[in-house]
Amino acid sequence: MNNNPLKSKEIFLYGILGIPIAFLGFPLYIYLPSFYVEHVGLSIGVVGFILLIARLIDMIADPFIGRFTDIYSSKFNIIFISSFFLLFGLFFLIKPIFYSSIWLFLCSIITYISYSFVLIPYLSLNSILSKNEKDNIKLAFSREIFIIIGVLIALLMPYIFLVSSDSKKSLELLLYTILILFPIFVLIFYFKLKDLEIKNENIIHKDFFLSLKNFFKNFPHHKKLFFAFLLNNLANALPATLFLFFVKYVLNLEDKTGLFLIIYFLSAIITFPFWIKLSNKISKKSTWILSIIIAISAFIFVPFLNEFDFFYFAIICVITGMCLGADMALPSSIQADVANQTKQNNEDLTGVLFGFWAMITKLSLSLAVAISFITLEFTNFETSNINQNSIVAIIVLYSILPIILKLSSIFLLLKYKETN
């Protein structure tokens, strides 16, 4: 634990690793499935099943990966070493030697697990680099700003280079870019910041499940934070999953999709400083609740939108985008504060807690896809001939269900007691 206040340069250098981490995740979720269907020749059902199993294994492994990072070596070393395995897995995932389902499964496991071995210690460093709550929030916002920038770059590059309609060319473009960028960012991150990580020699590593039992005994309210995070994440994941469907089939503004996304993410970046100042004046929990309420106020108007309502939906994108910054940074900053509290009992559960955090994020994304697609299947959804039941289902899943989930999240947060 570093007792000195962090410099602005150090906060910046911590955050910039978020660019390649976010950039790398984009092709895995957007272009990879269609690549294996269109160019490798696997059926869509086989690809979907393999990727589902690989992600489930990765999700279940997250808390144990977190425990490993708490016990062994430094988190900087783990990130540095895991990065090579990650790039190795990604390269052979996109450049398969054997066109088979087994190859897809093996390379997916290597890539997803390596990605978690980079992401979880990276998130954990939010707590380790500083025990000061203000530094924690600055680190979290720095990371999330650069993550959004990484997503924007990955989103726009295939359009800039005119390959967005070809999954193979898009994947190759993003692959070669990340093969250049990732090592550079990791090297800068590693050599500039690794000396800030100081191991606490008084930390005792107990049995994994015993440590969890003691944690929830000492922090009984933390279950509420976990469930609030899950519900709010699911509320965000549902409209994210159905965004393209909503813009295309409800608004009939498919050609404006990219512009809406840019408006959404830029609004998040611009309002980051506001959320930092507000969280310092009131509290992180109160600021997070306020951002959720503001997002709900925007979602309320979604069911009343009509075809070609560009202006009104753009306003909704601005408001919900503003709230995205708080949704991304404040929960993890609260988690970092709790992780610091555990060290007062000579236990380090930083990696474990952020492992669960990563698992909840992946679970919410998986649930969003399952809920959305299964519901649309029951409405006899067809892209070539959209029916009214499917339109209603998209609107409900995009706005009304997220409102209910966010209200439930607020209820749990009001009962959650922040650490002092």
> So what's the pLDDT on residue 346?
64
Alpha carbon distance 165, 187 (integer Å): 34
**What is residue 353's predicted lDDT score, i.e. its pLDDT?**
82
> Is the pLDDT assigned to residue 383 strictly greater than 80?
no
Angle of CA points 231, 233, 239, to nearest 5°: 105
Q: Is the pLDDT assigned to residue 3 strictly greater than 70? A: no
Q: Considering only the C-alpha atoms of the chain, give the largest distance between any 2 of them, rounded to a whole number of Å.
A: 65
Q: Is the confidence at residue 420, as pLDDT, over 60? A: no
CA dist., res. 387 & res. 369, Å (int): 20
So what's the pLDDT on residue 392? 92
The mean-pLDDT minimum among 70-79, 185-194, 343-352 falls in 343-352
**What pLDDT is attached to residue 4?**
65
Q: What is the pLDDT of residues 363-379, one digit of tens each?
A: 888 888 888 888 888 88
H-helix segments, 161-207: 167-193
* Helix (H) or strand (E) run with residue 138 in it: helix 133-160
Answer whether residue 29 shows pLDDT above 80.
no
pLDDT of 357 over the 90 cut? no
* R_g (Cα) of the chain, nearest Å: 21
Q: Residue 300's pLDDT is what?
A: 95
pLDDT band at residue 33 using 50, 70 and 90 as cut-offs: confident
CB atoms within 10 A of CB 46: 14
Least confident of 86-95, 176-185, 212-221, 384-393: 212-221
Distance from C-alpha of 67 to C-alpha of 358, rounded to nearest angstrom: 13
pLDDT tier, 28 (very low <50, low <70, confident <90, very high otherwise): confident
Question: How much of the chain exceeds pLDDT 90, in percent?
Answer: 29
Q: What average pLDDT score do residues 37-62 get?
A: 81
CA distances from 220 to 124, 212, 285, 295 (A): 21, 11, 17, 28
**Is residue 48 over pLDDT 80?**
no
Task: Say whether pLDDT at 241 is over 60.
Answer: yes
pLDDT at 167 over 50: yes
Range 241-257 average pLDDT: 86
pTM for the model: 0.83
Share of residues in the chain with pLDDT > 70 (%)? 93
Task: Give the other-Cβ count within 10 Å of 372's Cβ.
Answer: 23
Mean predicted lDDT score pLDDT of the chain: 85
The answer on pLDDT for 92 being more than 50 is yes
- pLDDT bucket at 279, cuts 50 / 70 / 90: confident
Q: Evaluate if residue 69 carries a pLDDT over 60.
A: yes
Among 207, 189, 216, 184, which residue's Cα sits nearest to residue 74?
189
**Mean pLDDT along residues 213-223:** 77
pLDDT exceeds cutoff 50 at 1:
no
- Tokens in use for 43? 């059926």
C-alpha distances out from residue 33 to 25, 71, 305, Å: 13, 35, 32
Domains of the chain: 1-199 (1.20.1250.20), 206-420 (1.20.1250.20)
Residue type (1 letter), 170: S
Mean pLDDT of 381-393: 84
Q: What is the pLDDT of residue 408?
A: 95
